[in-house]
C-alpha cells in the first residue's frame, strides 16, 4: 500500500514539475486603436523557466524573467522606441489556447493566443 501511495504522489509531483506544454509558436490578434494587429510569441519551457521571443517592428525581442507555475506563465519584454519600457505579462494556458494579459502605460490588454500549426 505504501508503494502505491508513493507512486501516486510521485506521478502528481512529476506532472506539476513538467508545467504547461507551451513549447512552440503562439499567434493571435489585438486591437490597436481600431486596427487589428497580428501578434506572435515563440516559447520554450525548461523546467519552470520560460524563454522565448516576440517579433516587434523587424526586431526579435527576447522575453525575460520567464516563469511557469502549473498552467500559469509570466514574463517581461523590454521595448526600446527611443525610451526603454518594460512590460510584464501574465498568462493562463488551457490546451491550445493561451490567455495573455499585460498593462502598458495604464492600458490593460488581454488577448487569446492559439498554438500555431
For 96-107, how does the pLDDT look when each residue is reduced to its tens digit (9 = 90+)?
A: 999 999 998 788
Non-local (6+) Cβ contacts of 58 within 8 A are none
Domains of the chain, earliest start first: 2-115 (2.40.128.120)
Q: Is 82 left (phi over 0), alpha (psi -120 to 50) or beta?
A: left
C-alpha dist (Å) from residue 11 to 1, 45, 47, 61, 95? 16, 19, 16, 36, 20
β-partners of residue 50 are 45, 66
* Polymer length of the chain: 117
Q: What does the pLDDT read at residue 28?
A: 97
70 Cβ contact partners less than 8 Å away, ≥ 6 residues apart = 16, 19, 20
Q: Model confidence over 40-66: pLDDT tens digits? A: 999 999 999 999 999 998 899 999 999
Amino acid at each position: 500500500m505504501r508503494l502505491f501511495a508513493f507512486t501516486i504522489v510521485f506521478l502528481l509531483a512529476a506532472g506539476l514539475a513538467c508545467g504547461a506544454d507551451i513549447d512552440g509558436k503562439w499567434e493571435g490578434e489585438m486591437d490597436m486603436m481600431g486596427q487589428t494587429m497580428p501578434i506572435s510569441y515563440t516559447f520554450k519551457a525548461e523546467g519552470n523557466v520560460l524563454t522565448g521571443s516576440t517579433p516587434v517592428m523587424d526586431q526579435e525581442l527576447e522575453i525575460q524573467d520567464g516563469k511557469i507555475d502549473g498552467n500559469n506563465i509570466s514574463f517581461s519584454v523590454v521595448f526600446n522606441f527611443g525610451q526603454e519600457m518594460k512590460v510584464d505579462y501574465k498568462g493562463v494556458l488551457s490546451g491550445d489556447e493561451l490567455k495573455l494579459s499585460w498593462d502598458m502605460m495604464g492600458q490593460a490588454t488581454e488577448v487569446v493566443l492559439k498554438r500555431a500549426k
